[in-house]
Chain A
Amino acid sequence: MSTAGTQETTTYREALREALREAMRSDDRVFLMGEDVGRYGGCFGVSLGLLEEFGPDRVRDTPLSESAFVGAGIGAALAGMRPIVEIMTVNFSLLALDQILNNAATLLHMSGGQLPVPLVIRMTTGAGRQLAAQHSHSLESFYAHIPGIRVLAPATLEDARHMLAPALADPDPVVIFEHGSLYNASGPLAPQAASVDLDHAAVRRPGDAVSLITYGGSLPKMFAAADELAADGVDAEVVDLRTLRPLDAGTVAASVARTHRAVVVDEAWRTGSVAAELSARLAEESFYELDAPVERVCGAEVPIPYARRLEEAALPQTAGIVAAAHRAVG
Chain B
Amino acid sequence: MGEFTMPSLGADMDEGTLVEWLVAPGDPLRKGDPVAVVETAKSTIEVECFESGAMGRLLVEPGATVPVGTPLALIEPAEGARREPEGRGKRQKHPVTPPAPQEPAEPEPAPGPEPAGGDGEVGGTGPLIRRLAERRGVDLTALHGTGPAGRVTRADIERAATDTARSPRVRATPLARRRAAELGVDLASVTGTGRDSVIRAEDVGGAAPGGAAPPPPPPPAAASVRPSRPPGEQAPGMRQAIARLMTRANRDIPHYYLSTTVDMAVSMDWLHDHNRRGPMAERLLPAALLLKAAALAAREVPALNGFWTDDRFTAGEGVHLGVAVSLRGGGLIAPVLHGADTLDLPALMGALKDLVTRARTGRLRGSEVSDATLTVTNLGDQGVETVFGVIHPPQVALVGFGRVADRPWAVDGLLGVRPVVTVTLSADHRATDGAVGARYLTAVDRLLQKPEEL
Contacts and interface: CB of A to CB of B under 8 A. Distances in A.
A, B bound? yes
Interface stretch (A55-63, A126-134, A284-292, A316-324): A284-292
A279 to B, nearest CB: 14
B237 interface: no
B178 A288 contact: yes
Interface residues of B, number: 13
A327 interface: yes
* Range of interface residues on A (Cβ < 8 Å): under 10
A330 B174 contact: no
A115 B173 CA distance: 49
A327 B195 contact: yes
B195 A291 contact: no
B200 A290 contact: no
Given A288-B175, A292-B194, 14 more contacts: A260-B201, A287-B174, A289-B174, A289-B175, A290-B174, A290-B175, A291-B173, A291-B176, A291-B200, A291-B202, A292-B173, A292-B200, A330-B194, A330-B195
A330 to B, nearest CB: 5
Nearest to A287: B174
Contacts of A289: 174-175
B193 interface: yes
A290 to B, nearest CB: 5
B193 A291 contact: no
B196 to A, nearest CB: 11
A290 B176 CA distance: 8
The 7 nearest A-B residue pairs measured at CB: A291-B175, A288-B178, A291-B173, A291-B201, A287-B174, A330-B194, A288-B174
A288 B174 CA distance: 5
Contacts of B175: 260, 288-291
A209 to B, nearest CB: 11
Interface string A295-330: 000000000000000000000000000000001001
Nearest to A256: B175
Nearest to B280: A288
A292 B193 CA distance: 12
B173 to A, nearest CB: 5
A292 B200 CA distance: 8
Contacts of A327: 195
Contacts of A292: 173, 194-195, 200
Nearest to A292: B173
Given A291-B173, A292-B194, A330 B178 contact: no
A277 to B, nearest CB: 20
A295 to B, nearest CB: 11
